[in-house]
Structure 1
Amino acid sequence: MSKIVNGKSCQPLSGAAPRRIVLLLHGYGSNGADLISIAPMWQQALPDALFLAPDAPNPCDMGMGYQWWPLADLSPDALARGAQNAAGAVDDFITRKLAQYDLTEADLAIVGFSQGTMLALHIGPRRSRQVASIVGYSGMLTGAAQLRDEAVTKPPVLLVHGDADPVVPFAAMADAETALAACGFDVASHAAPGIGHSVDPEGLRLGAEFIARHFAE
């Protein structure tokens, strides 16, 4: 199993030891430096949070950035296998970081973008203890058929997707919401009008509020 060794981080705005962790999982061909840019925009709402944005352990097949798994095959079965194969490295990273800061899954929010959303939605429900929340931007749910049998926990989920996304179909958000709700998850969603494969300010605001609300529960 590959091990995550690189990435970016942003320490708590409070200046104290981390009481929460927000894990940011980047998209295909990107890196942790891209998603850590969210941290300054969320620190006011989450002043006790340590933001971690690791690089995926594998260089991207496209020649730039990193990938959680190859995307040469975009069939549903291949995407489900890819997320499953990539999960081990992220699970190991989560376990190490929670132990390092003496925190539990209740202190963890997992946020993904695109391929990172696929990974977040795979890993979160399969952790042995429930994470505080999952936020998925511009992604999709892989392995929906297996989720009912494999979900160990059912953390609250927020899905955000631009309705002009040319990379991951906008319809993927509704598909994920339907499948998650059918398995008993509490799911919220936001359609971002006119937004492509990116995140708009409203989506970022909703994400911060969603995470902060569920950390407080």
Structure 2
Amino acid sequence: MKARYSDHLVLLFHGVAAFGHDLDPLARVLRRALPGAEVIAPDAPLACVPGPGRQWYDLDAVTLANRPGRIQVARGACDGVIEGLIARHGFADAPERVALVGFSQGATIVFDGFASGRWRAKAVVLLSGRFVRPEPFIPAKETPVLLVHGAADGAVPPEEDGKAERWLVEAGVRVQRHLLPDVGHEISPRAARLAARFLKETLGARTSSSALP
């Protein structure tokens, strides 16, 4: 078993046509709030065609009807990314020390992994996501979820969060939901702070006095 050198592992999932390093501003906020955690933002497994950037599932000519199938096709590659990272960092036997954070398409894929029961975690954060209900729908009731969306999002309707909240609450999951006025399709400073505070409280992580401005 690989040795574990951090208190917690926080995995960040970027949006389409992006790379893991595009989430560096969010990662910095989370590292300040969770000084004992390893915060990692991997690149998605699929290339965008045409590029640049990566994607978690193919968005070319995607529709409401074919999106669920696209997500299902991508599951194997996405599972490989998360399982590999968790194992390499020594958390394969400690899902209670893992948190999953997704933005946009990354939120879509985190929701699918968690809600289908494939991905286990202590906490889930979904930022500006579009959601497809997987079958079976078996999210872990003990894992709280934070939903954050900009009210002025012109790329993904904020109503997507209401849909996900309804499904999760009906399944017995504790959900916090925030709609941010005048925020578009982005991770705003307030969204980053909400994510940091939620993870600090949920993970029970140690923090410094200046961790959450």
TM-score interval (norm. to shorter): 0.7 to 0.9
The residue aligned with 2:97 is 107
Matched residue of 1:22: which SS?
strand
Using the alignment, how far apart are the partners of 2:195 and 2:156 within structure 1? 19
Equivalent position amino acid for 1:71 in 2: L
Between 173-182 and 91-100, the greater mean CA deviation after superposition: 91-100
The residue aligned with 1:130 is 120
Residue from 71, 85, 88 that aligns with 1:83 = 71
Using the alignment, how far apart are the partners of 1:188 and 1:208 within structure 2? 13
Q: Deviations over 1:130-174 (max 9, x none)?
A: 311110111122125x3xx33152321111000110100111111
Summarize the alignment of residues 13-24 of structure 1 with structure 2, pairs less than 5 Å apart. Answer: 17-24=5-12
TM-score, normalized by length of structure 1? 0.83
Using the alignment, how far apart are the partners of 1:139 and 1:152 within structure 2? 17
Using the alignment, how far apart are the partners of 1:68 and 1:170 within structure 2? 21
1:88 offset after TM fit, Å?
A: 2.2
- The answer to whether the 8 A contact 1:77-1:143 is kept is no
TM-score, normalized by length of structure 2? 0.85
Question: Which runs of 5 or more residues in structure 2 are unaligned?
Answer: 206-213
Using the alignment, how far apart are the partners of 2:110 and 2:140 within structure 1? 13
Between 53-62 and 165-174, the greater mean CA deviation after superposition: 53-62
1:191 offset after TM fit, Å?
A: 0.5
- The answer to whether the 8 A contact 1:36-1:51 is kept is no
Percent identical pairs in the alignment equals 34
1:63 offset after TM fit, Å?
A: 2.2
Residue from 137, 161, 170 that aligns with 1:150 = 137
The residue aligned with 1:4 is none
Matched residue of 1:166: which SS?
coil
Between 112-121 and 57-66, the greater mean CA deviation after superposition: 57-66
Residue from 36, 48, 72 that aligns with 2:36 = 48
Q: Deviations over 1:21-53 (max 9, x none)?
A: 111111111110101331111212111111111
The residue aligned with 2:200 is 212
Give the number of the structure with larger relative contact order, counting CA–CA contacts within 8 Å between residues 6 or more apart. Answer: 2
The residue aligned with 1:178 is 166
Residue 162 (structure 1) aligned with residue 154 (structure 2): no
